[in-house]
Amino acid sequence: MPEFRFPVIGHGGDYNPDQWLDRPDVLEQDVALMREARCNLMSVGIFAWSALEPREGEYSFAWLRGVLDRLHAAGVSVLLATPSGARPAWMSRKYPEVLRVENGHRNFHGGRENHCYTSPVYRAFVTRMNTRLAGEFGAHPAVVGWHISNEYCGECHCELCQSAFRAWLKRKYQTLDSLNHAWWTAFWSKTFTDWEEIHSPEPNGETQLCGLTLDWRRFVSDQTVDFVKCETAPIRRIAPNLPVTINTMGFFYGLDYPSFADVVDFVGYDSYPMWGSKSDYDVALETSFTFDLVRGFLNKPWSLMECTPSQVNWHEICQLKRPGMHMLSCVQALAHGSDTAMMFQWRKSRGGPEKFHGAVVGHDMTNRTRTFKEVKATGELLETLSEIVHSETKSDVALIFDQANRWALDGAQGPRKDKDYFGVTFDHYRALSRAGVNVDVIDMEKPFDSYKLLVAPYLYMLKPGAAERLTAFVNGGGALVLTFFSGIVDENDLCFLGGAPGPLRSLAGVWAEETDALYDGQTHKMVMKPGNALGLSGAYTCGFLADLLHAETASVQAEYEGDYVSGTPCLTQNGNVWYIASRPEPRFLNDFYQALLPRAGVTPIVPSLPEGMIACRRTKDGRDYTFVLNFTGADAPVALPAGIDLAAGQPAAPNATLPKNGFAVIRTEQARG
């Protein structure tokens, strides 16, 4: 599969010239302003189907060729988009099967991503369009890759999808007996006697059969992957040297993005943090968590495909980015492995739902705005940082966030309605980031052997082979952190028999007899035992969920204090395996990882990283590139590593003060030993 090897950091964004075909003066101005803003890469053609095929079988490509010619002449490259994210009205009217069915009713034409991924008619139209696009433009000198559709999402419950779901189930289970056992349909007399009796989960039907709901989510994700294969087939046949991407949405609930690894060449991501909704540091940490998740989909450099240079139009409160935040947030993406900093959108539309969404060029149509000037300054900065392009992120620490585990956990009725899988995993990510180390965020099917520390919180579901691979990791010298409510069910959401944490019981050396749910505001204390292996002292609060734990081969490092669990284990150690039996306060996780990381042989990127700063490192050709980002909201001192600060163009000061929203990007000439 081809690599995306853009020679410099990509800077640009979504460009929609099809909205301005009656204004050639605007199109000419666009090119001049792109050059001024140091833009070098644009996604073109997203949602342009009506302009490309205004009537069935009547194609209009001349305008697009003119745009590509103009951009190429200006030194701007293009990720050419396929327009399947929103089909034209004539198609919906003549071929209603392309529209989704939800809650028993077929949708009207409207919105976007409102089409059936199973529909042979829609697939035929997409194949025909993409074949024509690849034939017309696959060899155009401006085109360096393909942007496939836009933010795949949603599901359809039409009869075509029901049939496809049943076929998917037949391939997985082979027999109804196998399916009935996996779904435990004997409960509530749910047993199926014919494949045709199975229907997707909908509000007016079956919604409480956990295995059915879990498999439906898997099917929807797999069917989306299959649709991407349909989209890319003609492109790969006609223009095989051009890489393809989709723009993902990070922690989006509806798709299992790691399963797209075989159908895309690089990963795009659309990033829209709610800056201003809480402290910049808190927002930045959640954003970093997402960036590291996106990088983990393929475990290689990715592409920031969309961000706003100013504000969005769809948050509850659409606050402007404060001065300096656009540049800092773009550098943050680079720090976590992106090779581009692209925006939505280049120019504000005059009408439609996104006419008030931020853009490089506003309705004033000038270069005099604060936003344009900051985008231009960011483009100039990226030119000075371009040697980092294609550098890799090497991490000694991995944190497991698994989408199927998330789906299964949320489908379980108990022990709490709000499972907060994101929040629990983020608790650990925050502490690891606070300690100043690179973190890979991976699913449980990724390889573990390159890491020194593996953190697997809330591992409710264990996929086939996961327990054996975790055991091999520990036996190979790796350190493993497990938490409450882990090892409960298999991949079909069937509970393991023999006591929790199921197949992890001997590895962790504990038996979790029960898991208690605490009301919000209720807490226990976690009291460290004297002489514990981490050298921690005192007491920490914990709550949310609490395992009633029995130490078997594990040693007790901390005990509960409070309620009936007093004196029972709350933190245990079994060799290199640590088990945290309840959800602790952030202070504990900060102390825990500060003590555990050196035991695991993990060295921080920046020692004594100040609160409110983020440190990351990328590596290429024997050089390290250390990023230190200031999200404290004020000027702040920090001890920087030796080397050349590429952003400042001079040697890094060992005891520096980074300004508010400031950063350093330091090249170290020799890699670590």
Rounded CA-CA distance 46/32 in Å is 22
SS3 429: helix
Check if 306 is active-site.
Answer: yes
CB 43 within 8 A of CB 81: yes
> How does 293-324 read in b/e, with b if 16+ C-beta sit within 10 Å?
bbbbbbbbbbbbbbbbbbbbeeeeebebbeeb
Q: What letter would DSSP give residue 23?
A: -
36 tagged catalytic: no
Question: Checking phi first, is residue 458 left (phi over 0); if not, alpha (psi -120 to 50) or beta?
Answer: left
Token output for 640: 């920087």
What is the C-alpha to C-alpha distance for residues 359 and 361, in angstroms, rounded to an integer? Answer: 5
Dihedral angle sign, alpha carbons of residues 96, 102, 103, 104? positive
Closest C-alpha to 82, from 261, 222, 227: 227
Query: Would you say 122 and 116 are in contact if contact means Cβ atoms under 8 Å apart?
Result: yes
Choose the catalytic residue: 306, 374, 491, 559: 306
CA distances from 482 to 175, 422, 445, 572, 573 (A): 36, 16, 16, 10, 10
SS3 283: helix
Catalytic residue of the set 136, 151, 231, 491 = 151
Give the tokens for residue 201: 């989960």
Residues 669/619, Cβ–Cβ less than 8 Å: no
Q: Indicate which residues carry an active-site annotation.
A: 151, 306
